[in-house]
Amino acid sequence: MTSPSVPGGSPILALAGVDTYYGDSHILQGVTLEVESAAITCLLGRNGAGKTTAVRTVMGFTPPRTGRIALRGRDITGAPPHRVARAGVALVPQGRGIFPDLT
């Protein structure tokens, strides 16, 4: 078991120079991001800024063409979604009514 990172320590999730495309459309361009363990991190941006694409890229639904994605220091770049989920990353899409009886 690894210990949680401390400020200035290794990030739990790191994207380095990630480029993602949909066809010929270059959506993510050189994205670099580090998420520290136990931190609250938020992606903000206008519609079409690439927030969903960034999450889909981390989850393995839309593999990057270039760059690296690491989870707890292990390379998960281009890993299939089931492997990313097994590593402990989850995605709950907005407005899908996954738990319709809960408020």
* pLDDT tens string 2-50: 444 455 678 999 999 999 999 999 999 999 999 999 888 899 999 999 9
Taking the domains of the chain in order of start, what are their residue ranges? 13-86
Band (96; pLDDT cuts 50, 70, 90): low
What distances in angstroms separate CA 45 from CA 39, 49, 54, 66, 90, one per listed residue? 19, 6, 12, 22, 21
Phi first, then psi: what are they for 25, rounded to 5°?
A: -85, 120
Amino acid 1: pLDDT: 39
The CATH code of domain 13-86 reads 3.40.50.300
**What DSSP designation does 98 have?**
S
Residue predicted with more confidence, 93 or 12:
12
pTM: 0.81
pLDDT tens figures, 37-91: 988 889 999 999 999 999 999 999 999 999 999 999 999 999 999 999 999 998 8
Give the integer Cα–Cα distance in Å for 18 and 30. 5
